[in-house]
């Protein structure tokens, strides 16, 4: 498979390493300094994998549609434009795959989160519900796309929670949080690849689930799997379509 890497930073490089091990060919590498004709270069690829930055993702996805190349996007922090991407993809009969998190482990964690939230709906005594995400200091968006997905899953299932509010990790939960609020705390520390904690606290006990990535390989191999899968397809897809969870 001929792959175009749009974004050649930490994730682009991690994907390249696995792609070459699997005998794929990387025919294009684009970073923010790329000066070539991206449209004609993209046309040489079977698939594009986009991991850039929140302000660049939308434009890059549109270029892939224009070049008629299926695109797998992992960039977070741009989802206000998702409706437009989905509409354009369908209008132009193109292929688009998105996940805020390509790790198989995180997608299993999403299912666990939904099940736990469903059970917690009937148990009002767990009146402190929060998510804590920790990432490296270079991450541009907060909360993480994964934390937002976890929060949406919880909000859909727990009726007593009416709003989601974002906090920095320094804020103390007991002094700031309202009972009908799902608090999302974001910490930025060193080179942490990604940790997500979901916690329910009552007066008597607490329940906590954690996913901790050790490195970027899990995200990279999931994105590559999505790229292998989407070639030859048309439409809008996510991890649910790829994995039988
Ligand atoms: N979905 C997931 O599983 C997952 C996992 C890890 C990271 N991410 C997200 O992926 C994105 C990239 O993460 P990273 O750690 O590789 O970041 P990074 O900063 O290491 O790399 C970003 C790359 O994008 C390039 N870039 C920036 N603007 C560009 C533009 N306009 N056109 C082309 N290239 C451009 C930069 O030059 C750089 O090569 C972030 O949004 C991050 O949150 C998602």
Q: What is the mean pLDDT of residues 155-171?
A: 90
pLDDT at 153 over 60: yes
The pLDDT value given to residue 170: 75
Q: In whole numbers, what is the pLDDT of the chain averaged over residues?
A: 94
Give the whole-number percent of the chain exceeding pLDDT 90: 92
In terms of C-beta distances under 8 Å and separation of at least 24 residues, what long-range contacts does 137-143 make, across chains too?
137/188, 137/189, 137/190, 137/191, 139/188, 140/53, 140/54, 140/77, 141/54, 141/76, 141/77, 142/166, 142/186, 142/188, 143/184, 143/186
**Per-residue model confidence as pLDDT tens digits over 78-91:** 999 999 999 999 99
pLDDT at 211 over 70: yes
Question: Nearest residue CA, atom 18 of ligand 1?
Answer: 9
Q: In this structure, are 11 and 89 located in the same domain?
A: yes
Q: How confident is the model at residue 168 (pLDDT cuts 50, 70, 90)?
A: confident
pLDDT at 35 over 70: yes
Q: What is the mean pLDDT of residues 14-22?
A: 98
Contact (Cβ atoms closer than 8 angstroms) between residue 72 and residue 227: yes
Q: In this structure, are 8 and 73 located in the same domain?
A: yes
Q: In this structure, are 158 and 234 located in the same domain?
A: no
Domain of 142: which CATH number? 3.30.360.10
Is 135 catalytic? The answer is yes
Q: In this structure, are 87 and 122 located in the same domain?
A: no
**Per-residue model confidence as pLDDT tens digits over 188-204:** 999 999 999 999 999 99
Distance 52 CA to ligand 1 centre (A): 3
Q: In this structure, are 56 and 119 located in the same domain?
A: no
**Per-residue model confidence as pLDDT tens digits over 107-145:** 999 999 999 999 999 999 999 999 999 999 999 899 999
Give the whole-number percent of the chain exceeding pLDDT 70: 98
The pLDDT value given to residue 172: 64
The pLDDT value given to residue 175: 58
Separation between Cα atoms, residue 78 and residue 194, nearest integer Å: 19
Distance 153 CA to ligand 1 centre (A): 25
Q: In this structure, are 18 and 96 located in the same domain?
A: yes
The pLDDT value given to residue 227: 98
Pocket test residue of 36, 55, 74, 243 for ligand 1, highest count of atoms within 8 A of CB: 74
Distance 138 CA to ligand 1 centre (A): 10
* Ligand 1 residue neighbourhood (C-beta within 6 Å): 6-12, 30-32, 51-53, 56, 60, 74-77, 99-102, 139, 219
Is 139 catalytic? The answer is yes
Domain span holding position 135: 104-212
Q: In this structure, are 115 and 157 located in the same domain?
A: yes
pLDDT at 176 over 60: no
The pLDDT value given to residue 181: 92
How many domains does the structure of the chain reveal?
2
Pocket test residue of 6, 32, 147 for ligand 1, highest count of atoms within 8 A of CB: 32
Q: Which among 68, 65, 67, 69 is positioned nearest to 88, based on CA atoms?
A: 65
pLDDT at 174 over 80: no
Q: In this structure, are 111 and 62 located in the same domain?
A: no
Q: In this structure, are 116 and 208 located in the same domain?
A: yes
Q: In this structure, are 132 and 229 located in the same domain?
A: no
pLDDT at 94 over 70: yes
Domain of 17: which CATH number? 3.40.50.720
Beta carbons within 10 angstroms of residue 76's beta carbon: 25
């Amino acid at each position: 498979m001929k792959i175009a890497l749009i974004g050649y930073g930490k994730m682009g490089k991690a994907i390249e390493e696995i792609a070459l091990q699997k005998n794929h060919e990387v025919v294009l590498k684009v970073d923010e300094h790329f000066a070539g004709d991206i449209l004609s270069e993209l046309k040489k690829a079977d698939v594009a994998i986009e991991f850039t930055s929140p302000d660049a993702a939308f434009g890059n996805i549109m270029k892939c549609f224009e070049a008629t190349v299926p695109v797998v996007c992992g960039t977070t922090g741009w989802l206000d434009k998702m409706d437009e991407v989905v509409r354009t993809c369908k209008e132009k009969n193109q292929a688009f795959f998105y996940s805020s998190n390509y790790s198989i482990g995180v997608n299993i964690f999403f299912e666990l989160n939904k099940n736990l939230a469903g059970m917690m709906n009937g148990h009002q005594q767990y009146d402190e519900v929060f998510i804590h995400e920790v990432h490296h200091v270079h991450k541009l968006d907060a909360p993480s796309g994964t934390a937002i997905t976890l929060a949406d899953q919880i909000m859909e299932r727990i009726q007593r929670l009416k709003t989601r509010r974002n906090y920095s990790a320094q804020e103390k939960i007991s002094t700031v949080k309202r009972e009908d609020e799902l608090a999302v705390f974001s910490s930025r520390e060193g080179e942490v690849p990604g940790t997500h904690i979901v916690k329910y606290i009552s007066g008597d006990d607490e329940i906590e689930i954690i996913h901790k990535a050790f490195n970027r390989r899990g995200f990279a191999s999931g994105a590559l799997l999505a790229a292998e899968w989407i070639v030859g397809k048309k439409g809008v897809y996510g991890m649910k379509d790829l994995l039988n969870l």
